[in-house]
Amino acid sequence: MNHRLPRWITWLALGTLAFLYVPMLAVAVASVNRGRHGFTWRGFTFAWYTRLFGNEHVLEAARNTLVLAAISTLIATVLGTALAIGMSRFPWPRWVRRYLDLAVYLPVVTPDIIFAAALVVAFSVLRVLSPMFELGLPAMIVAHVTFQVAFVALVVRSRLASIGPHIEEAARDLYADTPGLLRRVMIPLLMPGIVAGAMLAFTLSLDDFVISFFTAGPESQTLPILIYGSLRRGLSPEIHALSTLIFLVTVLLVLGLERMTWLAKESK
């Protein structure tokens, strides 16, 4: 029996891939084109990357982006892992579990623009209680954590579902207390899911624009905000180089996430 797909499906798949990646390839080519304007090829050069790393505004935005992503990911990973364990292993009533599931999925499906506007309103109220909620890097960290937690919790919960409760019950039968169970059994088994969730959260933070734009202050510009501002003034080859580097970092993180997911499946 012939199970080959029709040729048009193959061409449709290739066309879809081209639609997704050819624009990024064009940006990468422009970043090494000696010509500053237009699409005429003037020769190969790394000069725009050299000028990029000598631009203090870009370096400051890169520092803000990495600090924001690192701190928010660390907090979200701890909270998301605890949330996943609590939701999966505590004997919640069925109606409570339904509402908890809704609370976790809501940040994932809510449009960024609505989420960002809600955060601005919430911060304006919380600003009365603490200056930490002034628009700037601390407020951006809180904003990123609020949506990163849900993604980490979902990834860790999928890992918990694959493990099942039997190993924990066996550890309890061997007189393991809760701290020992978490340290010696749960956390090592969950580590592939925890790392995968952390990498996903880090990638989302690096690429986020809308929520960062709504909660940023004058001294907390990130790379996506910098690129958006450059669009309004006209793109330069340095921005092409910056976009290419961000894309490469994102690809590496996604590949790492895929690797961690594969390892998690193999260890079932």
* Residue 195 CA to its chain's centroid (Å): 12
Burial class (CB in 10 A: 0-12, 13-18, 19+), 218: exposed
What whole-number distance in Å separates Cα of residue 237 and Cα of residue 34?
A: 9
Residue 44 DSSP SS3: strand
Cβ-Cβ contacts under 8 Å for 259 (sequence gap 6 or more): none
Q: 55-266: CATH homologous superfamily?
A: MetI-like (1.10.3720.10)
Tell me the mean pLDDT in the region 120-138: 84
Going from N- to C-terminal start, the domains of the chain cover 55-266
Dihedral pair phi/psi, residue 44, rounded to 5°: -85, 140
- The whole-number pLDDT of residue 2 equals 53
How large a percentage of the chain has pLDDT more than 90?
12
End-to-end CA distance of the chain: 34
- The whole-number pLDDT of residue 5 equals 67
What whole-number distance in Å separates Cα of residue 41 and Cα of residue 25?
A: 14
| Dihedral sign of CA atoms 103, 106, 108, 113 in order | negative
- The whole-number pLDDT of residue 148 equals 93
What whole-number distance in Å separates Cα of residue 204 and Cα of residue 82?
A: 20
pLDDT tens-digit series, residues 175-205: 667 676 777 777 777 888 888 889 889 989 9
Dihedral pair phi/psi, residue 81, rounded to 5°: -65, -45
- Look up residue 244 and give its amino acid: T
Contact yes or no for 168/214 (Cβ under 8 A): no
- Look up residue 36 and give its amino acid: R
How large a percentage of the chain has pLDDT more than 70?
88
Torsion of CA 101, 121, 137, 210, to 10 degrees: 70
**pTM check: above 0.85:** no
CA angle 79–85–90, rounded 5-degree value: 125
Dihedral pair phi/psi, residue 33, rounded to 5°: -90, 130
- 151: confidence class by pLDDT, cuts 50, 70, 90: very high
For 160, the token pair is: 């918990």
Cβ-Cβ contacts under 8 Å for 52 (sequence gap 6 or more): 58, 238, 241, 242, 245
